[in-house]
Amino acid sequence: MTSGVDLGRPQTQSVGSDEDVVRVRQLVRTAAVAVRLSLVDQTKVVTAASELARNTLVYGGGGTVEVTAIDNGRRPGIRIVFADSGPGIADLDLALTDGYTTGGGLGLGLSGARRLVDEFDIQTAPGQGTRITITKWSR
Amino acid sequence: MERVPILKIGDILLVSIQVDMSDQTAVALQEDLAERIVATGCHGVIIDITALDIVDSFVGRMLSTIASISRVLDAETVVVGMRPAVAITLVELGLSLNGIRTALNVERGMELIAIERADDDHDEPDDDPVPEPTASP
């Protein structure tokens, strides 16, 4: 769904613990600086990645995060894929609603992360795991 | 797991978060702070987040929880040093940090706590002021 050409090999981080979520933030921060996102956009994409990596850990039972620098011919950007083989999401509309949570959190992870990025794609089904792709373009 | 140090300065506990906290570290800080408030009898907590380059919903919730726990233990919490980009992102994320007092820096935070304590000594808590009756024409 995402447009743009990969600029380099994706960097992958497995997510199996709290510490891995911290590593995902650091990986995304480094990539966001490399494609010259503004400070505010760096902050937004790292925050979104933090929310989604935590979801991968807590709801997906762990998984992987893949970070790629991309270019659509006009501007560079960063694409991040969060994949898990957990239970999947049965009611996606509900899961994307502000304040809805099954895990005792604030219910802002998915919906908030979607607001912080330029493109947001989610593929999930019960028993099929969840795969979320986000893109943030440099302005 | 890393632990965030808590410093006592006079009647105030100062927490300066200098690391990218894992969720476990954030939860441990909540518990450590509650214990230190009771052990020291301090009436103010300042959390300096100058070094944090993001605040996500987990850390945001931790800050709200610390503020609530402190209030129950008779201490005021002030969060200081939020970066502009962090503030912009928090609002877009949908986190309003309800119930959290903020100040620009540690110095202002200390002033705010001093004012709060002085007010408390004089009159009843006025967290929910009665709205002024509007004059009817």
Domain boundaries, chain A: 5-137
DSSP B132: P
> Between chains, do A21 and B23 touch, taking CB under 8 Å as contact?
yes
Identify the pLDDT of residue B127.
Answer: 55
| Helices and strands, number each (H, E), in chain A | 4, 6
Per-residue pLDDT of A18-46, as tens digits, reads 999 999 999 999 999 999 999 999 999 99
- Residues of B with Cβ-Cβ distance to A117 under 8 angstroms: none
Report the C-alpha gap between B15 and B10 in whole angstroms. Answer: 14
- Nearest-Cα distance to chain A for B19, in Å, is 10
Residue B65 near chain A (CB below 8 Å)? no
For an interface test with A, give the residue of B4, B20, B93 to mutate (most A CBs within 10 A).
B93
Q: How many residues does chain A have?
A: 139
- Give the β-pairing of A76-84 and A130-137: antiparallel
Structural domain spans, chain B: 6-121
Q: What stretches in chain A show pLDDT beneath 70? A: 1-5, 7, 104
What ipTM does this complex have? 0.88
pLDDT of residue A1: 46
Helix segments in A1-139, DSSP class H = 18-34, 39-58, 92-95, 109-116
Q: Residue B132 has what pLDDT? A: 58
The Cα of A73 is separated from the nearest Cα of chain B by a number of Å equal to 27
Q: Look at the domain B6-121 and name its fold.
A: Transcription Regulator spoIIAA (3.30.750)
Residues of chain B with pLDDT under 70: 123-137
CATH class (in words) of the domain with range A5-137: alpha beta
pLDDT at A106: 74
For residue A24, the distance in angstroms to the closest alpha carbon of chain B comes to 11
